[in-house]
Amino acid sequence: MAARKKKTKKQDKPAPSAAEVVATLKGMASSKLRDGMARYAIPSDHALGISVGALRQLGKKLGPSHELAVGLWPSGIYEARMLASFVAEPDKLTPAQMDKWCRDFDNWAITDTMCFVLFDRSPHAFDKIKAWSTKKAEFEKRAAFALLASVALHDKAATNAAFIKTLPLIARAATDERNFVKKGVSWALRGIGGRNLELNAAALELAHELAGASDATARWVGKDTIRDLARPALQKKLAARTAKAKAKAKR
Q: What is the pLDDT along the chain (251 residues), one digit of tens a residue?
A: 344 444 444 446 678 999 999 999 999 999 999 999 999 999 999 999 999 999 999 999 999 999 999 999 999 999 999 999 999 999 999 999 999 999 999 999 999 999 999 999 999 999 999 999 999 999 999 999 999 999 999 999 999 999 999 999 999 999 999 999 999 999 999 999 999 999 999 999 999 999 999 999 999 999 999 999 999 999 999 999 989 888 888 87
The 8 Å CB, 24+ separation contacts for 221-226 are: 221/174, 221/182, 221/185, 221/186, 221/189, 222/174, 224/186, 224/190, 225/186, 225/189, 225/190, 225/193
CATH of range 108-251; options 1.10.287, 1.10.10, 1.25.10, 3.30.450: 1.25.10
Residue 86 exposed, middle or buried by CB count within 10 Å (0-12, 13-18, 19+) = buried
pTM: 0.92
State the span(s) of the chain assigned CATH 1.25.10. Answer: 108-251
The 8 Å CB, 24+ separation contacts for 212-215 are: 213/174, 213/175, 215/174, 215/175
Residue 7 exposed, middle or buried by CB count within 10 Å (0-12, 13-18, 19+) = exposed
Tell me which DSSP letter residue 14 carries.
P
Per-residue pLDDT at 156: 93
Contact 128, 119 (CB under 8 A): yes
String of DSSP letters for 116-170: HHTGGGSTTHHHHHHHHTT-SSHHHHHHHHHHHHHHHHH-TT--HHHHHTTHHHH
